[in-house]
Structure 1
Amino acid sequence: MRVAIVGGGIAGLATAALLARDGHDVDLFEQQQGVGGRAGSRSVGGFRFDTGPSWYLMPEVFDHFFQLLGTSSEEQLDLRVLDPAYRVFYEGAPGAAAPAPLDVRADTDANLATFEQTETGAGRALTAYLGSAREAYDLALRHFLYTNFTSPLALASPAVLRRLPRLLPLLTRSLEDFVARRFADVRLRQVLGYPAVFLGSSPDRAPSLYHLMSALDLTGGVMYPQGGFSHLIATIARLAGDQGARIHTGATVTAVTTADTARRRPRARATGLRWRDADGTEHTHAADVVVGAGDLHHLETRLLPRHLRTYPQEYWDRRESGPGAVLVLLGVRGGLPQLPHHSLFFTHDWHANFDAIFEGRVPNPASVYVCRPSATDPGVAPADHENLFVLVPVPADPGLGRGGADGSGSPQVEAIADAAVAQVARWADAPDLTERVVVRHTIGPGDFAEDLSAWRGGMLGPGHTLRQSAMFRARNRSSHVEGLYYAGSSTIPGIGLPMCLISAELVLKHLRGDTSTGPSPVPRPTAEVDHRRRRTRRSSQTGWSAS
């Protein structure tokens, strides 16, 4: 079939690659001049900044995706295990000295020992916690992530039914409560609760089923692809092109075109797109299938007429966005050994922190995330310099404004950035950090809204609360337009690069008529693929890339 894909983020690129490999005729349209979407990149003054995701988690999902394309993660990426996986800096209670930073290591036994040293009995409690997390993670991979929820009976497997007494409480209890019943020390609670932020939520809003995230970061699962996440995006774009997909950048889709079916449901069928090129010239593109792989709110409320919207504005008015963000990209002269690749800066009263974000106020101080990719990848900064990516969670509110170079962003965005950089300097004992900054660029919620068409300017998409998770999340097929599908963080299975890869596979399963709940079967390698793999391995050993 002829397939048109709207959006060139990781979900759109992955969908293009999978559908083209399955024999479809695929064109992808991206409004920006480059692909990547939220997983973008920016080069300034010899520094190369990833402007989006920076945690490589759920490696099994990446492995499976590459296998579906006849290759492997090993062939395509140079992955490094991070140790420490990350460092946590704490504010400390009012009037008290801040506790020493805590390192989460790549070794599970080391993390058990750290928990035990922090709180007597916490090592034993963490062993049980991680066992539960691994069971939940494995169950999710086999039964809840790779499904379109089109066949309820498919979910009623013996494995699911057998675990139902333990599974139901995980859906009705918050992650915060689940953690608090097992650990008393606030620092350990924060380490175990923070993964909710990766899901666009907070520990008191996310279901405790998401404690499964700890099966990843506390057991040696944090890696980094050399070249950064922009290299990951470029790799998937190249693979999509190798399969025959055509990628059009500077191509803004203005409408999904349809034809009436003379039936009540579906009311119409997709016939293609209208789009505008960089010169402002309008075009049409015929297609049998359209995949909206960008922001679902934008597609539904801007690209479809009202009577064909499965998710009209009224739907979004009742939904909860994940947080927005102010991003601060810093090029720094000299070293910063205080900061490993990933660092988290936790405020003591993070209830107030999260409440402020979800009630529309900027937290002060904020719990901040810092990535120093130059700790692992020398190619992201000039010699004797550091590359810092600072993320400040804020309300999803484009009214906070846009960022800019060298302090030229909106006053609110720049003030938030100033406070965050000063906070990192104090807590990490780098008092001269501000004076050593040679490159600075900020990105605000207004940029997410304008450049990425992000709903409410959010950095992630709809948060993973109970009624916005699994089968309760927006489905990935239009109820009113035959041949219109969705992929990306707005739809099932949800937020994050691995989830977006799965969402691409779910579109593939729809077109195949596959109602299974697990990953698609991996094709057996052909002799040609085996030869290419051997050639790639030989060339990588000599420093030459066959690609």
Structure 2
Amino acid sequence: MTKKINIIGSGFSSLAAACYLAKAGNEVTVYEKNETIGGRARQLKKDGFTFDIGPTWYWMPDVFERFFSDFGKKPSDYYELTKLSPAYQVYFGINDFVTIADNLSEICNTFETIEKGSGKKLDKFIKEAQNNYDIAIKDLVYRPGVSPMELVTLETAKKINQFFGNISKDIRRKFKNKKLVQILEFPVLFLGAKPSDTPSFYSFMNFADFGLGTWHPKNGMYSVILAMEKLALELGVSIQTNSSVEKIVVENGTAKAIIINGEKFEADIILSGADYHHSETLLDEKYRAYSEKYWDKKTFAPSSLLFYVGFDKKIQNVEHHSLFFDVDFDAHASDIYDFPKWPDEPLFYASFPSKTDDNVAPNGKEAGIFLIPLAPGLKDTEFLRDRYFDKIISRFEKLTQQEIKNSIIFRESFCVNDFIKDYNSYKGNAYGLANTLLQTAFLRPKLKSKKVKNLYFTGQLTVPGPGVPPSLISGKLVSELIQKNS
């Protein structure tokens, strides 16, 4: 039976859910508070430069392929993909960097030159990680987090110890060189927690990195959003921007409508892909499933200080993606998770998409994105943003041995206050709820409201977790749950 479904937000999970629900024959409308769609994956255009405001890493291409194949489509029907070669570069000091190739064989050779015997160890480690990937990404993450029994399979039973060990210890048992350890710990940072708090099973992220590679969609990650928008419109979805939802109307324990600019929009089903905590504040308190105390105790993935910089020249000695691990990794992690504060010496990441894509910067110029991971909830001021930009740019110049400050045409920034203002993000977090052992699968906030009938949630604070591929999967999971319960 056809249902009228109102969806709050237009990020990856909301658009994915909209496509699935429309394909099933429902009347679907997406309401987005901002001027443009995409949620955290919006785009900034300025003076001929184009920047992805949010995600810049295209990993797990198979998840995108699986999504589009559910509609008889392929990613190539909508956007062009390039596999990055090299995938990325990691700086540890002046003239001290490791380049990660686009294939495992070369990466093993690189490891071997740094630590004797590590090439074979890496090959074995990635084969084990691939097995975990096959279990997790091809099966487990497509389960709705309703019951702990979802995690109990013949395959997971064989790996029970990996759910209680942590990936940091596993890596350090196999590899002694500090640089190799940090490179192998890097992918799990996408899960939003310290490697020492991330279960061993999540080594599947290392296969996503070294096994499947790093890709770039032409014109940036926003191309994927535009592809999903086109698919949604082809399926009959209506998308309304500049539509900030003020309230979710509940009558007799059932979600009935949303209020936008004082106007009521009724529906049979309400689905929120907005920040989960914020979504519940749209309900009267008695209908909220999770208290403020609950959210305050949760481990959130980091926030970020981001800079979008236009340069009047090409930047040398960097790749499309470059990581700067020339300072204490553990100290910065502690400043995020243990004793939250602005880091004394931050690690940072820089992306220069114009190294790969001529469309994102004028000829002879360079588009640069810089990111510093931060604890959510920190005080955010222009003074601090300026101070940290100067800090990382000075280090960047020293490490890459070039002068770039005088080549800056413009600089835009995005930080905690912007995540709150633009996305209603809890404490300004950037990536959602971390995937720690006690925040995995059925232990995450539920896709279906426990207190309100016909009210559902999707996105990185619920199942399966943070990141773009999990958000696509979250949209599919909630759509299946809605259809099952309708």
TM-score range, shorter chain: over 0.9
User: Is residue 413 from structure 1 mapped to residue 413 from structure 2 by the alignment?
Assistant: no
Corresponding residue for 2:105? 109
Corresponding residue for 2:82? 80
Corresponding residue for 2:225? 233
Cα distance in 2 between the residues matched to 1:506 and 1:137:
19
Q: Aligned to 2:481, what secondary structure does the other structure show?
A: helix
TM-score normalised by structure 2 residue count: 0.96
Show the 5 A alignment for 1:348-359: 348-358=327-337, 359=339
Cα distance in 2 between the residues matched to 1:236 and 1:452:
20
Corresponding residue for 1:499? 470
Cα distance in 2 between the residues matched to 1:214 and 1:316:
29
Cα distance in 1 between the residues matched to 2:268 and 2:396:
51
Cα distance in 2 between the residues matched to 1:7 and 1:414:
31
Q: Aligned to 1:320, what secondary structure does the other structure show?
A: coil
Show the 5 A alignment for 1:111-510: 111-150=107-146, 153=149, 155-161=151-157, 163=158, 167-260=159-252, 268-276=253-261, 282-300=262-280, 302-358=281-337, 359-397=339-377, 399-401=379-381, 410-430=382-402, 432-510=403-481
Cα distance in 1 between the residues matched to 2:311 and 2:152:
54
Does the CA-based 8 Å contact 1:326-1:417 persist in structure 2? no
Q: Aligned to 2:371, what secondary structure does the other structure show?
A: strand
Cα distance in 1 between the residues matched to 2:6 and 2:291:
22
Does the CA-based 8 Å contact 1:4-1:291 persist in structure 2? yes
- Please report how far the alpha carbon of residue 40 of structure 1 lies from its aligned counterpart in structure 2 after TM superposition: 1.1
- Please report how far the alpha carbon of residue 49 of structure 1 lies from its aligned counterpart in structure 2 after TM superposition: 0.8
Show the 5 A alignment for 1:38-117: 38-91=40-93, 98=94, 100-117=96-113
Moved over 6 A (4+): none
421-430 vs 247-256, which deviates more?
A: 421-430
Cα distance in 2 between the residues matched to 1:321 and 1:35:
24
Cα distance in 1 between the residues matched to 2:431 and 2:393:
22
- Please report how far the alpha carbon of residue 373 of structure 1 lies from its aligned counterpart in structure 2 after TM superposition: 0.3
Does the CA-based 8 Å contact 1:80-1:225 persist in structure 2? yes
In structure 1, stretches of 5+ residues that fail to align are 92-97, 261-267, 277-281, 402-409, 515-547
Shift in CA distance, 154/216, structure 1 to aligned 2, threshold 3 Å: closer
Cα distance in 2 between the residues matched to 1:62 and 1:237:
14
What amino acid is the match of 1:249? T
Root-mean-square deviation over aligned CA pairs: 1.4
Q: Which is greater in Rg?
A: 1
Shift in CA distance, 64/307, structure 1 to aligned 2, threshold 3 Å: same
Does the CA-based 8 Å contact 1:347-1:353 persist in structure 2? no
Cα distance in 2 between the residues matched to 1:55 and 1:338:
20
Q: Among 23, 30, 49, which residue is 1:28 paired with?
A: 30
Cα distance in 1 between the residues matched to 2:138 and 2:105:
27
Shift in CA distance, 120/348, structure 1 to aligned 2, threshold 3 Å: farther
Q: Aligned to 2:161, what secondary structure does the other structure show?
A: helix
Corresponding residue for 2:483? 512
Q: Aligned to 2:40, what secondary structure does the other structure show?
A: coil
What amino acid is the match of 2:256? T
Does the CA-based 8 Å contact 2:104-2:123 persist in structure 1? no
Cα distance in 1 between the residues matched to 2:59 and 2:355:
18
- Please report how far the alpha carbon of residue 44 of structure 1 lies from its aligned counterpart in structure 2 after TM superposition: 1.1
Does the CA-based 8 Å contact 2:146-2:442 persist in structure 1? no
- Please report how far the alpha carbon of residue 85 of structure 1 lies from its aligned counterpart in structure 2 after TM superposition: 0.2
1:393-437 Cα offsets, whole Å, 9 max, x none, are 112125213xxxxxxxx111221122122222211222x111111
Shift in CA distance, 142/218, structure 1 to aligned 2, threshold 3 Å: closer
Does the CA-based 8 Å contact 1:269-1:481 persist in structure 2? yes
Does the CA-based 8 Å contact 2:302-2:374 persist in structure 1? yes
437-446 vs 183-192, which deviates more?
A: 437-446
Cα distance in 1 between the residues matched to 2:140 and 2:212:
24
Does the CA-based 8 Å contact 2:327-2:345 persist in structure 1? no
What amino acid is the match of 2:390? D
Corresponding residue for 1:542? none
Cα distance in 1 between the residues matched to 2:141 and 2:96:
38
Cα distance in 2 between the residues matched to 1:154 and 1:233:
30
Cα distance in 2 between the residues matched to 1:222 and 1:142:
19
Cα distance in 2 between the residues matched to 1:49 and 1:321:
26
Cα distance in 2 between the residues matched to 1:69 and 1:160:
30
Q: Aligned to 2:211, what secondary structure does the other structure show?
A: coil
Q: Aligned to 2:240, what secondary structure does the other structure show?
A: strand
Shift in CA distance, 152/205, structure 1 to aligned 2, threshold 3 Å: closer
- Please report how far the alpha carbon of residue 494 of structure 1 lies from its aligned counterpart in structure 2 after TM superposition: 0.5
Does the CA-based 8 Å contact 2:187-2:209 persist in structure 1? no
Cα distance in 1 between the residues matched to 2:285 and 2:149:
33
Does the CA-based 8 Å contact 2:302-2:429 persist in structure 1? yes
Does the CA-based 8 Å contact 2:148-2:442 persist in structure 1? no
Cα distance in 2 between the residues matched to 1:158 and 1:218:
27
- Please report how far the alpha carbon of residue 196 of structure 1 lies from its aligned counterpart in structure 2 after TM superposition: 2.2
Cα distance in 2 between the residues matched to 1:398 and 1:453:
15
Does the CA-based 8 Å contact 2:459-2:475 persist in structure 1? yes
Cα distance in 2 between the residues matched to 1:154 and 1:470:
8
- Please report how far the alpha carbon of residue 153 of structure 1 lies from its aligned counterpart in structure 2 after TM superposition: 4.9
What amino acid is the match of 1:112? C
1:164-199 Cα offsets, whole Å, 9 max, x none, are xxx222221222111101100000000000112211
Cα distance in 1 between the residues matched to 2:72 and 2:142:
19
Cα distance in 1 between the residues matched to 2:66 and 2:478:
16
- Please report how far the alpha carbon of residue 459 of structure 1 lies from its aligned counterpart in structure 2 after TM superposition: 1.0
Does the CA-based 8 Å contact 2:5-2:270 persist in structure 1? yes
What is the aligned length? Answer: 482
Does the CA-based 8 Å contact 1:258-1:270 persist in structure 2? yes
200-209 vs 289-298, which deviates more?
A: 200-209
Does the CA-based 8 Å contact 1:85-1:220 persist in structure 2? no
Q: Aligned to 2:38, what secondary structure does the other structure show?
A: coil
1:466-495 Cα offsets, whole Å, 9 max, x none, are 111222221211101111111111101011
Does the CA-based 8 Å contact 1:147-1:506 persist in structure 2? yes
Percent identity among equivalent residues? 29
